Chains A and B, each alone.
Chain A
Amino acid sequence: MTLNDRQWQRVARGMDGEGVELSAEERSVLEEVRAAEQALLGRLDVTLPAGVLAKAERRMTAELARPRRGIRWVYGAVAAAAVVLIVAGLLPLLPPGSVTNKDAADPLRAASTEQLLNSVALTEVEAEVALLDSQLSELEADLWLSRAPEPGEAKMDSIEQQLDDFWLDGGASLPEIEG
């Protein structure tokens, strides 16, 4: 007795109680399977050893108690994650080098120390530059005062003096300008 796939499918649907019109051959197979199933009925059943169900029940009871502990863990994990996120969000807002680590071996600490040294070094250079600048100014002033005034410069100084007197004292005549 050989059925094709379609026929097996029809017999299966018949076994499932669907109203399927079966051929004599298909019906014969259906009866055969049904009889074999009946013959097996009860023979496959196994007696449950003592204590097995009770043991499974204990595991089940423990599992039923677990969710409450689980929820506490979930709350704890969520709180910890929130703290980490807040700290991570605030870090970029802090000035560079403001976060240090007490552990000397920590790269963060090493970096911040280096930054501090750099800032000190920059200040020293700046002070030195300022000192040099003031010394140069003094030297320039000394050189200017030490040299003899040229004739034109003296005449110009005299003219400036007469102009100031005219405007301040209300003098009658302005000094003559040569040339």
Chain B
Amino acid sequence: MQGERLRETIASAQAGSADAYRALLRVYGPRLYGYFYRATRNHHDAEDLLGEISLRLVRRLKTYDERGRFDPWLFRIAANMVRDRIRRIKTAPSALSFSFGDDESGASPIDRIADDAAPVDAAALAAEASGALQDALAKLDEPTREVILLRHFGGMSYKEIAEVCGCPLGTVLARVHRGLKKLRVIMDT
């Protein structure tokens, strides 16, 4: 959803249309979920955060100024939620999500036991590769991971990322450059 159609949908949602809100969630839900999952490395947290951001979207959309771009506005909220979640996990380890070490599919361990018996296929190989990427991402420091994910999922410009992160524009690109290089090295080895 882009341009005029997106503007109309946002305006309808701001006017209180439930259908418009649902349309926004359907369009942005998968990207938001991807961002949350890559940032928290946990399907349960990602699911919870997606539910939470859908509530925040309802509460805050009225404050959105149509002159700005919607994607950065939405992903700024998402980034703050992730930071808050990570901070809470660090300060209160008991708040850690109940996780068996998620795989890419979000399947439970029992489901995965059953899956282990299945023959290896393309999807499993893809999941494995994605899992390797997840491990590589986990090895990046938090600010670097954040800018790479915001750039990819949020489709944000470097200037917008600099605003969200509250750091100089040059620093953002230096981080991304270093992070992408590191990712490639980790994944190639």
Which A positions have Cβ atoms within 8 angstroms of B? 3, 5-9, 11-13, 15-17, 29, 32-33, 36-37, 39-41, 43-49, 52-53, 55-57, 59-61, 63-64
Contact = CB atoms under 8 A, between A and B. Distances in A.
Nearest to A51: B47
Contact of B158 (A16, A45, A49, A64): A16
A33 B173 contact: yes
Contacts of A32: 177
Given A33-B180, A59-B55, A60-B58, A8 B173 contact: yes
Contacts of A52: 29, 33, 47, 50, 106
Given A48-B29, A57-B26, 13 more contacts: A36-B183, A40-B180, A43-B130, A44-B133, A44-B152, A44-B153, A45-B34, A49-B107, A52-B47, A53-B26, A55-B47, A55-B51, A56-B29
A12 B170 contact: yes
Given A9-B168, A36-B184, A45-B34, A29 B104 contact: no
A98 B51 CA distance: 56
B18 A15 contact: no
B149 interface: yes
Most buried by B among A16, A37, A44: A44
Interface residues of B, number: 51
Contact of B54 (A8, A49, A63): A63
B38 interface: yes
B22 A60 contact: yes
B59 A12 contact: no
Interface of B: 16, 18, 21-22, 25-26, 29-30, 33-34, 37-38, 43, 46-47, 50-51, 54-55, 57-59, 104-107, 129-130, 133, 148-149, 151-153, 157-159, 162, 168-174, 176-177, 180-181, 183-184
Contacts of B46: 46
30 contacts: A8-B171, A12-B162, A13-B159, A15-B157, A16-B159, A32-B177, A36-B184, A39-B184, A40-B152, A40-B180, A40-B183, A41-B152, A46-B30, A46-B38, A46-B130, A48-B34, A49-B105, A52-B33, A52-B106, A53-B30, A53-B33, A55-B47, A55-B51, A56-B50, A57-B54, A59-B54, A60-B21, A60-B25, A63-B55, A64-B18
Contacts of B38: 44, 46
Contacts of B16: 64
Contacts of B177: 29, 32-33, 36
Contacts of B105: 47, 49
A60 B17 CA distance: 12
B21 A37 contact: no
List 5 tightest A-B contacts by C-beta distance, closest first: A8-B170, A49-B106, A36-B180, A9-B170, A12-B173
Contacts of A64: 16, 18, 21, 58
